[in-house]
Structure 1
């Protein structure tokens, strides 16, 4: 007797993942990305060895991933899109696909496009048709456009900020897809509600209220009979596009009216909390933060939030460095201050040529975003040269000054990096011979502190510095977002008159 072949669902895997600030002059090019294909793409998912995952034929196409940055150079994006579409088309022609896992950020911006992820999934749908089951995972700081919603069947997103659950979110998206295919349940119903709120992530950390409470609703919602997933996007504030706004999506095996009422109820709860959102830490000007830091508990952290590369900042704005170079407590050597980091390949090259232990003149930063206030001239000793985990060279520059004709070290260490980098982990400092736990003050280009830094800080303020990811959204002057929108519109009568609406697709 010939046994029947066991059916194994065929699922394509693809995506382009970057968070892009449209307010930064920087562009993102191919060299900014890690591109994976074949087994290297699938090796990103440790759960491949789990039983449910082994029942699926995962078919890698292309995935490109980068640190948050600027808008993608259009030819780079177009080339990857062509490869993705050709790959999906070939797989589908070989034997019709059963599913597709779409692994994107949700806040990717591309030259000339207003909804890059929506455009990409729409183009994929033209190849695979309406019946293939598509599962989506994004960052909660992504945007849920109508095109992206329409193109996907299972939609989920991170539930923690900082994003300690990024991998968990991808696993959930792939697991939900596998379970729907293997069980033959097919597509669930889905409902989308946009909420006219656009806030920086530093006002929406899930460590504090109201985001903590609003995201904690998800386990309750998912425990309701028939609910598959509940997702809340707070949106991406540093792009000027109509899709930039908060959103919730609930997917469920429920009647359309019941699902829509459930989604609207949750969205209304979020909208009613609009006045509760506050910064995750005390905020002030850079000048006032430094004055406060003179007597704060050690180690003291100051977030140079407007140029945070983890949100898309250019990573070379010198506003904070300029103030440190004029701050007596560290220039006199009384306080040891670490300033991390400035993306400046030219200064790294000078440091390498100078050699560890030697002194040279440097012109640091302001080569990408020269607006605030531009390149800074300094004289410094090269204290350390090393590589970051991505293999990019970095240098520690100990600033020196001349006293009575003698060059004397100050207390200021400035880190310059060949590639863009965010110093959110202790190990990143340690690779350069630095220990932030032993410093007096650490000025870091970041918004809310990542877990390592949060665990070690004794005092912390966020400086409202300028840059491509300025926390003061009003200063950025958005033009294309929908209105009214919090925090741009403050009239209580206007906001109280807002009615939320759902877009619901039944089974």
Structure 2
């Protein structure tokens, strides 16, 4: 479209992290990357120089604080970010719109709904006439206060997330279109009392696949601006944690009807959501691995997944691998080859790096942050590789213990790409078993695996949710409560906001 009037001014800001309240880890300043100004604007592919959206408005990068998932955020860190965002919005305004990037599962010590609090601060800074569009992860939580405070709200439609940039572009395009004259849309909002881990709601399989195809269909209906379904975040113990549906548009009857229908479809499918892969205990997974010729056979050490909020240094699984003859015996003598990625421990990584490649080392490692399931392990082996400058992990060392290669890092780091392994001298495709700290496999790792299983291991993001003992969900929620707790069923009538 061609504008004949002043380009709107749109601010970009936010704070994005998902954080487990069941993990002792704390996501302090060292966890966050801060982006401001044009560096923030150019973070989004659809706003880079020369793109159509970039030309349609003046985009102002205020502040985005982003971090890998982890534990709860200390209040002073959050409040400092919130204050800077509010002051900068006031100082650099006025604005016609705000693109607010949040995850939806940020837990802050002393708060029960951090994103709603941040949205209130943004609203106070820009005033009632400025439109605020929130871009979210589908594993976020949408309280009534959050939905009512912002003007537009949308989330991803794939899990694992393959449409993050597309969903943010959707939020930006929707915002720009409403600023251009249509004004605030109506929102039909309803929470669904179901709380699932993402590994039970993968859009690679039914029923989530069909539900999210339906979401896209609803979003394209006449009278509808956008439609979203949130799975919620299972590893925080807060009243807002549950599934939610929002359908936005200008036809109250249509958006209310479709929001209720999507909510009912999600509720009715509650018992059909299965794990995205075969799942079992460590013993069951080990038995399957040893009976299989698949190579690599990937095992997901899911309870300490750092990309879901786990501390990353739980040693429960590694302790068992180090005691398993199938892996600790040299392959030449009949053992299996395996990779364990990864175990963060700054002191141990530095000690191993100082010893150098070829050295035989013995170090205590792990369980410095989350010692709950198992204490530190003793690594006795030969140093095969040292990388001193990994952008995410800092120091990275590979220690060989028989056929097992243990990746030891200075800082938490996910290992999801083939290049993550080859950069430190490892060949995942040529290895019998690859154990990674993740839940649902990211696309490249999924495509690489000849077979894989979810290990139901303990930790701050345990997939066996009842073991975590949620106590503050504020009412019956499936699967923590049986159907009798819901009487004739939950009221899924949307509220128009």
> Quick check: TM above 0.5?
yes
Aligned to 1:321: 318
Quick one: distance in 2 between partners of 1:175 and 1:53?
11
Tell me, yes or no, if the aligned pair for 2:9 and 2:57 is still in contact at 8 Å: yes
Aligned to 2:123: 125
1:485 pairs, out of 467, 477, 484, with 477
The structural deviation recorded for 1:495 is 5.6
Quick one: distance in 2 between partners of 1:240 and 1:130?
32
The structural deviation recorded for 1:123 is 1.6
Quick one: distance in 2 between partners of 1:185 and 1:384?
59
Aligned to 1:503: 495
Deviations 1:373-428 (A, max 9, x none): 110012121111124343622111112xxxxxxxxxx0011001111111111111
1:116 pairs, out of 99, 114, 117, with 114
CA 1:476–1:125 in structure 2 vs 1: closer, same or farther (change >3 Å)? same
The structural deviation recorded for 1:238 is 0.2
Matched, 1:199 2:196: yes
Tell me, yes or no, if the aligned pair for 2:13 and 2:101 is still in contact at 8 Å: yes
Tell me, yes or no, if the aligned pair for 1:395 and 1:415 is still in contact at 8 Å: yes
Quick one: distance in 2 between partners of 1:422 and 1:324?
19
Deviations 1:65-99 (A, max 9, x none): 1110010111111111111010011123xxx2110
Secondary structure of the 1:27 match is coil
Deviations 1:253-293 (A, max 9, x none): 21x23321221111111111111011111111112211221
Deviations 1:456-488 (A, max 9, x none): 111211111000000011000001103211100
Aligned to 1:43: 42
The structural deviation recorded for 1:129 is 2.1
Aligned to 1:425: 417
Tell me, yes or no, if the aligned pair for 1:303 and 1:462 is still in contact at 8 Å: yes
- How many residue pairs align between the two structures? 487
Aligned to 2:29: 30
Aligned to 1:365: 366
The correspondence of residues 111-190 of structure 1 with structure 2, limited to 5 A, is 111-182=109-180, 184-190=181-187
Tell me, yes or no, if the aligned pair for 1:339 and 1:444 is still in contact at 8 Å: yes
Cα RMSD for the two superposed structures: 1.4
Matched, 1:445 2:446: no
Unpaired segments ≥5 residues, structure 1: 400-409
Quick one: distance in 2 between partners of 1:434 and 1:459?
19
Tell me, yes or no, if the aligned pair for 2:72 and 2:108 is still in contact at 8 Å: yes
Secondary structure of the 2:217 match is helix
Aligned to 1:99: 97
1:283 pairs, out of 263, 279, 286, with 279
The correspondence of residues 448-463 of structure 1 with structure 2, limited to 5 A, is 448-463=440-455
Unpaired segments ≥5 residues, structure 2: none
Quick one: distance in 2 between partners of 1:210 and 1:451?
20
Tell me, yes or no, if the aligned pair for 2:223 and 2:254 is still in contact at 8 Å: no
The structural deviation recorded for 1:5 is 7.9
Tell me, yes or no, if the aligned pair for 1:194 and 1:501 is still in contact at 8 Å: no
The structural deviation recorded for 1:113 is 0.5
CA 1:459–1:495 in structure 2 vs 1: closer, same or farther (change >3 Å)? farther
Moved more, 200-209 or 372-381: 372-381
Aligned to 1:223: 220
Matched, 1:395 2:394: no
Quick one: distance in 1 between partners of 2:476 and 2:422?
46
- Using the size of structure 1 for normalisation, the TM-score is 0.94
The structural deviation recorded for 1:494 is 3.0
Tell me, yes or no, if the aligned pair for 1:484 and 1:495 is still in contact at 8 Å: no
Deviations 1:289-335 (A, max 9, x none): 11221122211111100000010000000011011011111111210
Quick one: distance in 2 between partners of 1:266 and 1:291?
40
Quick one: distance in 1 between partners of 2:262 and 2:368?
45
Secondary structure of the 1:249 match is strand
- Using the size of structure 2 for normalisation, the TM-score is 0.96
Quick one: distance in 1 between partners of 2:264 and 2:7?
41
Tell me, yes or no, if the aligned pair for 2:328 and 2:403 is still in contact at 8 Å: yes
